[in-house]
Amino acid sequence: MDAAPLTPDPAGLLPPVQPVQLLDDQGVLHEVDGYPLDLKDEDFRNLYRFMVLARRVDKQAINLQRQGQLGVYASLLGQEAAQVGGAYALDEQDWVFPSYREMGAALVRGVDPGKILQLFRGTWLSDHDPHATHFGLLSIPIATQALHAAGFAMGAKFDGKDLVVMSYFGDGATSEGDVHEALNFAAVYDAPCVFYVQNNQYAISVPLSKQTKAPTIAHKAIGYGMPGYRCDGNDVLASYAVAKQAVERARAGDGPSLIEAVTYRMEAHTTADDPTRYRTPEELAEWNARDPIARFETFLTREGLVDDTFRAQIDDEAKAYAARMREEIYDAPHGDPLELFEHVYVEPPASYDEQRALLRRELEAG
Amino acid sequence: MATRDFLLPDLGEGLTEGEIVAWLVAVGDSVDVDQPVAEVETAKAVVEVPSPFAGTVSTLHGQVGEEVAVGTPLVTIEVGGSAAPAAAPVAGHAPQEAEVAEMVPEVEAGSGDDEVVADAGSGNVLVGYGTGGNRARRRAARPAAASDRSASRAETGPRSGTRASRPNSGPGSRPRAKPPVRKLAKDLGVDLTSVGGSGPDGVITREDVRAYAGNGAGGATVPASEDYQDLLRQSGDSGRVTTTSAGAGQRIPVRGVRKAIAEKMTLSRREIPEAVTWVDVDATGLWQLRQSLNASQSDVKVSPLAIILRACVAGLRRYREINASLDTEANEIVLHDHVNLGFAAATDRGLVVPVIKGAETLSTLEIAAELNRLAGAARDGKITPDEMGGGTFTVSNYGSFGVDGGSAVINHPEAAILGVGRITDRPWVVNGELAVRKVTQLSIAFDHRICDGGEAGGFLRFIADCVEDPAVLLGSL
């Protein structure tokens, strides 16, 4: 009796070594076979709008941290295209399970950024309603959201729901056991899941070269029996087109994929980090030349898709957005710390009461 | 006009202060919300701090190069008629800010010309790494164009460290206490390593700290802590001398190592009822032994101090009350199992006390090697906190200053300190006749709560006998 045939053909799972790029650094469009752009003019403008909003909101969040309004903040500067392009490939019924650096994806999903920032203010673990926008809570522990996504996607499949789940995580997370488990489960169960890695080159200070020996992160996919994709994460069109492929594949019932969007975190890991200790100005300059917004703007201007009036309009909107977020966050009241104990257990264990009493004593002691 | 203070926030995680690198506004300037007002350097990084208020700058709290504590005013701004909460920036109203932020907000390519060594440590962080005492090269994160700022900053001299303080303990022996309790201990000047914990698993509680402080047992931390590298750099800032008015002299801020020394000395003299005794010694035997040791091998240069340190090990094994400390809380004398020999070393930046760990396991040559290594590291400012902690007994070689005698201050909470004067040719009676010998003076200051003259004198006499006739030392090995 013949052994069961290997499925699918492993060779088809391998990613391209060169990331898919549709817009080059100069903003010139090069179409790539297999990655058609199904975007209307309005979509092009929307992508631009989300990227500009993301960058402005991000800057405002950093300012708020430096004004003592946030404990810490993780900037997405430089990753706007990767985040926005990926999330833009999803439909309304689809879900996103983000890490803590996903302000751009949040905006695409319609999440109020001021609510996201409550987490960094220490007031609430994200104040937004995940069910309203299908955008999960920010995951501070590295990689846990990959499991949430895999499980959610498996559940959706069991329930016969038509939805795709996208999990965002970083290059560092790919070394975590959680990602291994999530990819394996999702693949075995053909879960409608897209694992979207923003490879921003550093896990805090650990460079990719010390993160993995794999040829690329996308090459890891074949080990789980799912296709690996690579795209230029600073190219919003490539990020979108590649994500779209993976999303459609998942929606068609063909299972999960792993996308590696090659990008770069221009800012510090968080506001509590000094990246000049581990990367060089030369490297920064090199990536600065690949600014995702500048490149796209060049393209849109040349194509006549945006003009000065539109740009001014978007800038005003971005400012108003940031201003509203600032109002929501500035001096936002902190809850009663004892509230921590309110929503965890139905039947609290004895140790829990002791902890609550200890906290109360500490609070009373000032 | 209503004014509002912009209090310096914790720019990293758990930072306690920041240094003003440059002011980006002047008194009288009007500022918008989010307009950068100052560059501030913390133990983490140099960042531009944006104003939360719009209005007119009325006060800049501090000069370039000065430190501002987190939670104290950085800048005061007249905000107009009412002290309303910060207005949000209105569209088209923030001329200082790029509409779409630049991709490179902090570091510009090629700005690596202004490199400084930053090795501050910040203690605990929630996300990301702490900055615990590494010596990574750090490039000043600031646009290269700001040469005027670079200049003003260069005048401030070596960087002053900024970091949250951490209890005095080596890695692995960090006392267990919750953050608010740590803060309380810090506020009360209590060293948590000295406090017993009554909570579960020995966790130190608020009550423990209060009780300890109430005993008058609290006090300053030893320079030999993880804070040390910062202290060194803070001390380097003593160039920041302010001259008040003509004839009024100079005022030098007491900070860094100087401050730590001051606190440590005050604690010792306040708490310890000390007594001192001393003896003149013919060190010719020691001198000859040292020459023989150096002639017999070339691996390590043996100094007279190294041999005296070895004699101390033998003496401390014999007089255990000298290698001890007092637990004032438990009201018990703690006799230490190991001999961790500290030796006072004068450096450019101040007094430090490197510690030879587990000296009871080392030969004379091994002690000499370790002494040389640690002394070199201290001199070069490369000594690690680990190498300065955990001492059980200290030797002060004040003879290196060319003096004969002294009354050294006990390195709290140790029981005693041995002082060694210079070794010099003096007339000495040998076998009833006057002779020229190598003579020195040894002294011991001891905590009279822990031991009495019998033990201290016995110990000192033993060391003296070893110095006069190293064969005595041999008998104890």
Query: What's B458's domain CATH number?
Result: 3.30.559.10
- Residue A326 annotated as catalytic: no
CB-based burial, B218-231: b 16+ in 10 Å, e otherwise: bbbbbbbbbbbbbb
Write out the H or E segment, with its range, that includes residue B179.
Answer: helix B179-188
Cα–Cα distances (Å) from B224 to A117, A186, B354, B386, in that order, read 41, 53, 8, 8
Token pair for B394 = 């200290």
Using a CB-CB cut-off of 8 Å, the residues of chain B touching A63 are 34, 50
Q: Determine the Cα angle at A280 with ends A278 and A285, to 5°.
A: 135
Q: What is the pLDDT of residue A127?
A: 83
Kindly state whether residues B443 and B303 are assigned to the same domain.
yes
| β-bridge mates for residue B281, sequence order | B440
Q: Is the pLDDT of residue B198 over 90?
A: no
Q: What is the pLDDT of residue B132?
A: 38
- The CATH class for the domain spanning A10-335 reads alpha beta
- Residue B448 annotated as catalytic: yes
Nearest to B352 by CA among B227, B239, B439: B227
Given an 8 Å threshold on Cβ–Cβ distance, is A267 in contact with B91? no
Given an 8 Å threshold on Cβ–Cβ distance, is B52 in contact with A60? no
Whether residue B267 lies inside any domain: the answer is no
Kindly state whether residues B254 and B278 are assigned to the same domain.
no
Residue A20's SS3 state is: strand
Handedness of CA A262, A264, A270, A273 (dihedral sign): positive
Residue B40's SS3 state is: strand
Question: What pTM was estimated for this model as a whole?
Answer: 0.59
Nearest to A193 by CA among A139, A254, A237: A254
The domain tally of chain B equals: 3
Question: Chain A window 277-296: which residues touch B at a Cβ cutoff of 8 Å?
Answer: 277-278, 280-282, 284-285, 288, 291, 293-294
Nearest to B458 by CA among B330, B335, B318, B269: B318
Instruction: Judge contact between A73 and A195, C-beta under 8 A.
Output: no
Given an 8 Å threshold on Cβ–Cβ distance, is B89 in contact with A319? yes
Kindly state whether residues B251 and B385 are assigned to the same domain.
no
Percentage of residues in chain B with pLDDT exceeding 70?
73
A324 close contact with B: CB closer than 8 A: yes
Confidence label for B144 from pLDDT (cuts 50, 70 and 90): very low
For testing contact with chain B, the best of A50, A52, A63 (most B CBs within 10 A): A63
C-alpha to C-alpha distance for A317 and A300, rounded to whole angstroms: 19
Low-confidence ranges of chain A (pLDDT < 70): 1-8
C-alpha to C-alpha distance for A213 and B157, rounded to whole angstroms: 44
Q: Give the other-Cβ count within 10 Å of A64's Cβ.
A: 25
- Quote ipTM for the complex: 0.83
Kindly state whether residues B278 and B418 are assigned to the same domain.
yes
More confident: B283 or A12: B283
For testing contact with chain A, the best of B6, B34, B68, B113 (most A CBs within 10 A): B34
C-alpha B80: how far from chain center: 46
Confidence label for B156 from pLDDT (cuts 50, 70 and 90): very low
Kindly state whether residues B219 and B292 are assigned to the same domain.
no
Token pair for A89 = 């490939």
Kindly state whether residues B115 and B236 are assigned to the same domain.
no
Q: Is the pLDDT of residue B170 over 60?
A: no
Upstream peptide bond of A36 is cis (omega within 30 degrees of 0): no
Kindly state whether residues B402 and B464 are assigned to the same domain.
yes
Phi, psi at A273, each rounded to 5°? -125, 150
Using a CB-CB cut-off of 8 Å, the residues of chain B touching A52 are 100
Given an 8 Å threshold on Cβ–Cβ distance, is B127 in contact with A140? yes
Given an 8 Å threshold on Cβ–Cβ distance, is A204 in contact with B106? no
β-bridge pairing B341-347 and B355-356: antiparallel
Instruction: Give the model confidence (pLDDT) of A299-309 as tens digits.
Output: 999 999 999 99
Q: Where are the domains of chain A?
A: 10-335, 337-366
Q: What is the pLDDT of residue A81?
A: 98
Write out the H or E segment, with its range, that includes residue B445.
Answer: strand B433-447
A60 close contact with B: CB closer than 8 A: yes
Question: Chain B window 201-240: which residues touch A at a Cβ cutoff of 8 Å?
Answer: 206
Instruction: Give the model confidence (pLDDT) of B339-393 as tens digits.
Output: 999 999 888 777 889 999 999 999 999 999 999 999 998 888 788 877 888 899 9
Cα–Cα distances (Å) from B2 to A331, B79, B81, B304, in that order, read 19, 6, 6, 69
Given an 8 Å threshold on Cβ–Cβ distance, is A276 in contact with B104? no
Q: How close A191 gets to chain B, by Cα (Å)?
A: 31
Whether residue B319 lies inside any domain: the answer is yes
Q: Which domain holds residue B24?
A: 2-154
Residue B136 has its nearest CB partner, among A277, A322, A331, at A277
Q: What is the pLDDT of residue A60?
A: 96
Whether residue B311 lies inside any domain: the answer is yes
Residue B317's SS3 state is: helix
Nearest to A261 by CA among A240, A285, A288, A275: A240
Beta strands in A135-246 (DSSP E): 165-170, 193-199, 202-203, 206-207, 228-232
Phi, psi at A227, each rounded to 5°? -70, 145
B9 close contact with A: CB closer than 8 A: yes
Handedness of CA A37, A39, A40, A43 (dihedral sign): negative
**CATH classification of the domain holding B52:** 2.40.50.100
- Residue ending a domain, among B258, B285, B302, is B258
| β-bridge mates for residue B436, sequence order | B427
Confidence label for B242 from pLDDT (cuts 50, 70 and 90): low
Cα–Cα distances (Å) from B248 to B238, B243, B244, B255, in that order, read 18, 8, 6, 21
Whether residue B465 lies inside any domain: the answer is yes
Q: Determine the angle formed by the axes of helices A41-66 and A308-329, rounding to 10 degrees.
A: 40
Instruction: Judge contact between A265 and A77, C-beta under 8 A.
Output: yes
Whether residue B166 lies inside any domain: the answer is no
Instruction: Give the model confidence (pLDDT) of B306-335 as tens digits.
Output: 999 999 999 999 999 999 999 888 899 999
A331 close contact with B: CB closer than 8 A: yes
A276 close contact with B: CB closer than 8 A: yes
Write out the H or E segment, with its range, that includes residue A148.
Answer: helix A144-158
Write out the H or E segment, with its range, that includes residue B20.
Answer: strand B17-23
Instruction: Give the model confidence (pLDDT) of B105-130 as tens digits.
Output: 443 333 333 333 333 333 333 333 33
Kindly state whether residues B291 and B231 are assigned to the same domain.
no
A52 close contact with B: CB closer than 8 A: yes
Q: Is the pLDDT of residue B155 over 70?
A: no
Kindly state whether residues B146 and B21 are assigned to the same domain.
yes
Whether residue B172 lies inside any domain: the answer is no
C-alpha A318: how far from chain center: 20
Instruction: Judge contact between B418 and B444, C-beta under 8 A.
Output: yes
Nearest to A329 by CA among A57, A48, A35: A57
Percentage of residues in chain B with pLDDT exceeding 90?
45
Nearest to A305 by CA among A39, A32, A31, A33: A39
Cα–Cα distances (Å) from B276 to B136, B412, B421, B430, B443, in that order, read 45, 15, 14, 27, 7
β-bridge pairing A257-262 and A193-199: parallel
Q: Determine the angle formed by the axes of helices B364-379 and B284-296, rounding to 10 degrees.
A: 90
C-alpha B131: how far from chain center: 17
Q: Residue B299 contacts by C-beta under 8 Å, 6 or more apart in sequence? A: B365, B369
Residue A365 has its nearest CB partner, among B6, B8, B206, at B206
Q: Give the other-Cβ count within 10 Å of A137's Cβ.
A: 17
| Amino acid at the residue A136 | G
| β-bridge mates for residue A165, sequence order | A95, A193
Residue A205 has its nearest CB partner, among B101, B110, B129, at B129
Kindly state whether residues B246 and B282 are assigned to the same domain.
no
For testing contact with chain B, the best of A51, A267, A277 (most B CBs within 10 A): A277
Upstream peptide bond of B413 is cis (omega within 30 degrees of 0): yes
Whether residue B159 lies inside any domain: the answer is no
Q: Determine the angle formed by the axes of helices A113-121 and A41-66, rounding to 10 degrees.
A: 30
Kindly state whether residues B144 and B246 are assigned to the same domain.
no
DSSP conformation class of B204 = B
Q: What is the pLDDT of residue B1?
A: 67
Instruction: Give the model confidence (pLDDT) of A255-296 as tens digits.
Output: 999 999 999 999 999 998 989 889 999 999 999 999 999 999
Using a CB-CB cut-off of 8 Å, the residues of chain B touching A324 are 88
List the catalytic residue out of A109, A128, A269, A326.
Answer: A269
Phi, psi at A262, each rounded to 5°? -85, 115
| Amino acid at the residue A100 | Y
Q: How many CB pairs under 8 A join A and B?
A: 151
How deeply is A132 buried, as exposed, middle or buried, from its count of CB atoms within 10 A (0-12, 13-18, 19+)? Answer: exposed
Residue B388's SS3 state is: helix
C-alpha to C-alpha distance for B398 and B409, rounded to whole angstroms: 12
Question: Chain B window 126-165: which residues touch A at a Cβ cutoff of 8 Å?
Answer: 126-129, 131, 136-141
Using a CB-CB cut-off of 8 Å, the residues of chain A touching B13 are 71-72, 272
Q: What is the pLDDT of residue A3?
A: 56
Write out the H or E segment, with its range, that includes residue A293.
Answer: helix A292-302
| Amino acid at the residue B65 | G
Confidence label for B196 from pLDDT (cuts 50, 70 and 90): confident
Kindly state whether residues B364 and B459 are assigned to the same domain.
yes
Q: Residue B331 contacts by C-beta under 8 Å, 6 or more apart in sequence? A: none
Q: What is the pLDDT of residue B161?
A: 38
